[in-house]
Amino acid sequence: MSLIDTRNRPLQDLRISVTDRCNFRCNYCMPEEVFGAGYRFLERDELLTFEEIVRLAALLVERGARRIRITGGEPLVRRNLDRLVGMLAALPGLQDLSLTTNGSLLPGQAAPLAAAGLRRVTVSLDSLDDAVFRSMNSVGAGVGEVLRGIEAAGSAGLAPVKVNAVVRRGMNDHTVVDMVRHFRGTGTIVRFIEYMDVGNSNGWRLDEVVPASEILAGINAVFPIEVMDPNHTGEVARRWRLRDGSGEIGVITSVSHPFCAACRRLRLSPEGSLYTCLFAGEGFDLRGLLRQGADDATLGQALDRVWRVRDDQYSRIRSAATTGLPRVEMSHIGG
């Protein structure tokens, strides 16, 4: 079965957020002044169980999802995550299973995750300048902690590791070329993400967005680059290779060059709401159906309805009128 939405986009990718908690407080995602000591995170009984997650994932794989990415919050703070990975990896028809993490907890978990069936990891690292990075994560975590996580992932066979850096003007844009310089020749792919207005708490301003064209021009001036073909239809990162053959970079251009027309992603939140867009204001409650005893046919019909009426294209129509609307926080449903 293949689900098609109102804009003729098939379901292809599923992102599963397993927790709304994180051990970092990155200012573009979970600013400390909002997600502080008094913030109410989900209680354990509010989270979907691993069995509930896998049941929904299996139905979505039957409906065309071929790639699953585990996200958060920080997914590695959820206990026994390798057990969930093993359950998802066993789903018939699934072609790829990956995870996005801040990397700080990877040294102790990379090997068991790989053994359970995880194939790849993407690690968030916004700068190699320790002072800049500590300022951006707001908890004093150093670059060395994340680099050790990247090394652990590579040693466990979770390769190629991808590193994501959100670029914010006046904060870390001066460290972009240093990221390329550090990772060239290592096999690690660095991707630069335009600062996005996800959620309503990160204080997003358009003048703090560094467009991909500027990022690429800065890199090309030091390390000449050339365009690469996408890995697959619907891939959000635009790929470039260093002309000397020493590495690959990517840019994710949600602001300057939206990719809504090819978006094939569905997002499942930790408490079981289904979101059809990263910038959505509300989701569809599946936990209620699950815990009321709905059978697979009923759940499947609900999933079909959600995707078939999907009409999202937020990044394409972004304007002063849309940026003020309520949106789910990125820390809740993953990037």
CA 229 – CA 163 distance, rounded (Å): 19
Residue 298: its pLDDT value, please?
A: 98
Q: What is the pLDDT of residues 121-148, one digit of tens each?
A: 999 999 999 999 999 999 999 999 999 9
Residue 319: its pLDDT value, please?
A: 62
Residue 230: its pLDDT value, please?
A: 85
Q: What is the pLDDT of residues 77-111, one digit of tens each?
A: 999 999 999 999 999 999 999 999 999 999 999 99
CA 201 – CA 65 distance, rounded (Å): 31
CA 140 – CA 130 distance, rounded (Å): 9
The fraction of the chain above a pLDDT of 90, given in percent, is: 79
CB 331 within 8 A of CB 72: yes
Q: What is the pLDDT of residues 245-292, one digit of tens each?
A: 999 999 998 888 887 888 999 999 999 999 998 888 889 999 999 999
**pLDDT at residue 325 is higher than 80:** no
CA 204 – CA 196 distance, rounded (Å): 7
Residue 232: its pLDDT value, please?
A: 74
- Here the tokens at position 30 are 């979970």
Confidence of residue 167 (pLDDT cuts 50, 70, 90): very high
Confidence of residue 320 (pLDDT cuts 50, 70, 90): low
CA 335 – CA 198 distance, rounded (Å): 9
**pLDDT at residue 329 is higher than 90:** no
Residue 177: its pLDDT value, please?
A: 98
Residue 109: its pLDDT value, please?
A: 98
CA-based nearest residue to 165, from 187, 146, 140, 186: 146
Q: Who wins on pLDDT, 100 or 235?
A: 100
Domains and CATH numbers, the chain: 13-333 (3.20.20.70)
Average pLDDT of 11-21?
97
**pLDDT at residue 322 is higher than 70:** no
Residue 254: its pLDDT value, please?
A: 85
Q: What is the pLDDT of residues 178-207, one digit of tens each?
A: 999 999 999 999 999 999 877 677 777 888
Please name the residues in contact with 45: beta carbons below 8 A apart, sequence gap of 6 or more: none
Q: What is the pLDDT of residues 42-75, one digit of tens each?
A: 999 999 999 999 999 999 999 999 999 999 999 9
Residue 95: its pLDDT value, please?
A: 97
CA 244 – CA 241 distance, rounded (Å): 8
Cα 149 to Cα 72, 76, 146: the distances in Å are 17, 12, 5
Residue 323: its pLDDT value, please?
A: 67
Burial class (CB in 10 A: 0-12, 13-18, 19+), 252: buried
Average pLDDT of 239-248?
97
**pLDDT at residue 321 is higher than 70:** no
